[in-house]
Structure 1
Amino acid sequence: MKDIIILMFRLMVCIFEIWMLFGFYNNFLKNKPRKSRNNIFIILVFALIIFAINSIDNTILNLICVPVVYFVLAIVAFNGNVFKKLFGTLIGTIVILGTELIIVAVLNITSKELIESSMVNEPSAFVLTIIVKMVTFIVFEIIKQFSSKESEMMDGKTFCLYILTPLSCLGIMFSVVFCRIDFTENSLAKSVLIIFFFCMLIGNAAIFYGYNRYAKILVEKEKNRRTVMEQKMELESYKKVNVANDRYITLLHDTNHHIKTVYSLLKKDKKDDAMNMLSKLFDKYEKAEMIEYSGNTILNTILSDYKEKSSKENIECDIFVERGFNIEYVDEIDLVAMLSNLLSNSYEAAAKSDMKKIRIQMFMQNDGSFSVIKIENSYTSMIVEEDSVLKTTKQNKEFHGLGIKSVQQIAEKYNGWLSSTWSDNVFKSVLILENSMC
Structure 2
Amino acid sequence: MMPIWYMEHRTSILLFQSVIGVLPFAGYLSKKKNFAVRFIIGTIFGICLIELFVHTGILDINMLRSGITRAVASLLVFFVTIIVCYLAFDENFYTALFVASSGYIAQDISGTVKTVIKLVPGIGEMSSVLNGVIILDVFIYGLVYLLLFIMFRPFTRKRESIFHNKEKAVFSAIALVFCIGMARLSQDNYDRNLLAIGAEAIYQILCDFFILLLQFGVMERVELRNGVDTMKELMHQQYDQMKRSKESIELVNEKYHDLKGILDGYELELPKDQLRALKKKIEEYEEFVSTGNHILDVVIAEKKELCSRENIELTTLVNGAELSFMDDVDIYSLFGNAFNNAIHATKKLPEDERFIMLTVSSGGGTTTIHIENSFHGNVVMENGIPKSQRDPRYHGFGMKSMERIVKKYDGTIAVKAEGKVFNLDIIML
Q: TM-score, normalised by structure 2?
A: 0.48
Larger RCO of the pair (alpha carbons < 8 Å, separation 6+):
2
